[in-house]
Amino acid sequence: MRLKSRGSLFRLALKRRGYQVSRYFRVFFVEAGAGTIYVDGKEYALVPGNCVAVEPGELHEVVNTGTSELILTYFGLRVEKSAG
């Protein structure tokens, strides 16, 4: 198994919401604020210092539940199976 980076690290100030499905593993790290991430119908708290991984194909939504911006750093990883 080989991991490939999808790109750069992104820092987000979340203001909108909406469900997403990705072809990549996504890793979210909470820098500031408060929120909730829903992954395939399960609810997880987002507070500073928390890290959440979402697998490819999982339906997920991030919601800002605080009174200030929810600041996340996230990156995506694509996993390829080795030929041998």
Domains of the chain with CATH codes: 2-80 (2.60.120.10)
Q: Residue 24 class from Cβ within 10 Å (0-12 exposed, 13-18 middle, 19+ buried)?
A: middle
For residue 80, the model assigns a pLDDT of: 75
Q: In this model, does residue 59 exceed pLDDT 90? A: no
- pLDDT class for 18, splitting at 50, 70, 90? low
- 35, 66 contact by CB (below 8 A): yes
What is the mean pLDDT of the segment spanning 63-68? 89
pLDDT of residue 84: 62
* Mean of all residue pLDDT scores within the chain: 77
| pLDDT exceeds cutoff 60 at 35 | yes
